[in-house]
Structure 1
Amino acid sequence: MTGSRKNLLLAAFMSVLLFHVCSKTEASAFDCCLQYTEQVIPSRLIKGFEQQLANDACDINAIILYTKRGLAVCADPKKKWVKHVVHVLSKKVRKM
């Protein structure tokens, strides 16, 4: 095998590997909560939320909290503080 063919094959392999790693990182970071935060986040710092239900892709039920700083935080929907945040945000949405 010539040097240019080896380089081409290596470049193709690295491209496929990079694509695979990036897609896995993005999916786990944005599409699915895998664990909960241990920190209590005050409702005044949260601008929105969505619910994640456990299914084939996601192992746990979670509330994904979106902070005013642009962070997404996974929280346990059974925790009292999470229920409070969801309640407060739901009331704000109803007023609009």
Structure 2
Amino acid sequence: MANIRLGAVALLALLTLGFFLEQADAAGCCLSYVKKPFPCHRMKGYTIQDSKTTCDMDAIIFHTKGGKFICADPSKEWTSRRINCLKERAQSIA
């Protein structure tokens, strides 16, 4: 009987941990886009947020040199220009 209780407690702990990890991952999602473009020289990289995963919308997340994150609409022309700028900068370093 004690083994069953211990198993039930362990299962409950795993389910709770999984719930909190999922919530923590969702907290890192973009929920809206910036309205104005940011200059390329302020950015150091980017990641792609895909709505097919845990987040609800597609976005490009630019990483600034100040350690902040900027959520951009991937369909905007300025977003593509910033991505190209970052790629060109990376190629010039290599």
Do both proteins adopt the same fold according to a TM-score greater than 0.5, normalized to the shorter chain? yes
Of residues 69, 72, 87, the one that matches 1:75 is 72
Number of positions where the alignment pairs a residue of Structure 1 with one of Structure 2: 76
Structure 2 segments unaligned to the other structure (5+ residues): 1-15
The normalised TM-score by structure 2 is 0.67
| 1:13-53 per-position Cα deviation (integer Å, ceiling 9, x unaligned) | xxx8xxx5xx73x43442x2121111211111111111111
**Residues 28 and 34 of structure 1 are in contact (CA less than 8 Å); yes or no, is this contact kept in structure 2?**
no
The normalised TM-score by structure 1 is 0.66
Give me the identity figure in percent: 32
Q: CA RMSD in A?
A: 2.2
Aligned to 1:48: 45
